[in-house]
Amino acid sequence: MAEASGDGSMEDRISALPDELLIHVLSHLRSRKAVQTCVLARRWRYLWRSVTCIDVSFEEFEDRAAADDLEREEMFKMFVNHLLILRERVDLKEFRLQYSLVVGVGRLSANSDEANLWIRHALQYKAQTVKIGNHSEPLQLLPWVFTSTYLKRLHITNAQLILGFFDRLRKGCPALEYLFLSICDIEDLDIFSDTLKVLILSDTIGFSFSFEHDAQVSISAPSLISLSVQECPSGARLPILKNMSSLETASVLLSEGDITTCDADGIRQFLGGLSGVRSLDFYYGDRQLEVKNNHGWCPTFNNLTNLTLDRWCMHADLYAMIVFLQNSPNLKKLTLKLNESSASWRIDRLHVNSLRLSKSYVRREMSCCYLG
């Protein structure tokens, strides 16, 4: 910013800032924008080379004149390659990549080669957070790339995680605590981590080997504190949750059609892995749980104090909700998320006496959220 001084000349106050502060500011810009600051003045020429965050996005090249998408992709690759070659050898705090592979051109593994090398570069320079996104064909991420004693947070969207990926994460990334996966195809049947504290499975998560071999996926994370399954993973059966002794909060959506076999036994095994949580959000869509008169599908939640259910629990005279309440002796708050149609019919059933529950439930809090 320039201001008029006492003699009428313009004073450049930004140039008075130390290089360290300017580099900090540049680290919050998209990498292409940061590089473009090199033309501002001689002093700015090389500042971009020392940023601690690399944020490269294919979207910044959509306005570039090109014969087709393939040429635009080559422009993007050239920019990122030059950026990584020319930057100073300074450690990174974060690496963000938004990619877009041209559909139907070449083999998936070959098209993903550059992205794997870029991720490897970031981890070699001690990036603590890595966020990978892709807008078209999935990236094929190679397990050997993920070797870092500094990586703490990993976000991956639209990728194929080939066999051995999670074993490499466990062995090669001993500091990893936060894992976010969205629109990913996972070939591993066993997901194991000693260090993860937060696991988020969002949108479309597929276990391709589970379908091919009619096998059940297992997730084991003894240090996990928070689990979020925002859309039911697709596979032959519901995953088995093992070694979840530290789990405190869980949010699970089991949507229709994703699991080939979703019966009372599968639900019992799945919920059994969540039985130690203090807070549980459990969504089952519009389906009716086909487990009436079989209380074994619901384990005992001795630590549960906060429970959220949606409209599926309104089926069969509130049977599923009653079983949940009967198996949650320390529950303090129950929240029902209902649309207007499911809430309006027999809403009087939410009265404690109508549920034929013990008098101890009178002191517990209940709330309803109507979803329009």
Mean predicted confidence (pLDDT) in 170-195: 94
At residue 65, the pLDDT reads: 57
At residue 355, the pLDDT reads: 43
- In 3D space, the residue among 252, 242, 238, 249 whose CA is nearest the CA of residue 285 turns out to be 252
At residue 371, the pLDDT reads: 46
Radius of gyration of the chain (CA): 26
Q: Which residue has the higher pLDDT, 358 or 185?
A: 185
- Angle at the Cα of 109 from the Cα atoms of 107 and 112, rounded to 5 degrees: 110
pLDDT tens sequence across 61-109: 776 655 677 778 888 999 999 999 999 999 999 999 998 876 555 555 6
At residue 106, the pLDDT reads: 52
At residue 280, the pLDDT reads: 96
At residue 349, the pLDDT reads: 44
Q: Which residue has the higher pLDDT, 363 or 29?
A: 29
Mean predicted confidence (pLDDT) in 352-372: 45
Query: How many C-beta atoms surround the C-beta of residue 6 within 10 A?
Result: 6
Instruction: Return the SS3 of 201.
Output: strand
Query: How many C-beta atoms surround the C-beta of residue 200 within 10 A?
Result: 16
Instruction: Return the SS3 of 260.
Output: strand
Hey, CA dihedral for 122, 127, 133, 139, is it positive or negative?
A: positive
* Residue 350 neighbours by CB under 8 Å, 6+ apart: 336, 366, 368
Query: How many C-beta atoms surround the C-beta of residue 347 within 10 A?
Result: 13
**Total-model pTM:** 0.85
Distance in angstroms (rounded) separating the CA atoms of residues 230 and 245: 21
At residue 109, the pLDDT reads: 60
**Phi, then psi, of 255 in degrees rounded to 5:** -90, 160
At residue 353, the pLDDT reads: 38
Distance in angstroms (rounded) separating the CA atoms of residues 236 and 217: 9
pLDDT bracket for residue 270 (50, 70, 90): confident
pLDDT bracket for residue 350 (50, 70, 90): very low
pLDDT bracket for residue 143 (50, 70, 90): very high
- Angle at the Cα of 353 from the Cα atoms of 349 and 357, rounded to 5 degrees: 100
Question: To the nearest whole number, what is the mean pLDDT of the chain?
Answer: 81
Q: Which residue has the higher pLDDT, 56 or 40?
A: 56
pLDDT bracket for residue 164 (50, 70, 90): very high
Distance in angstroms (rounded) separating the CA atoms of residues 118 and 135: 17
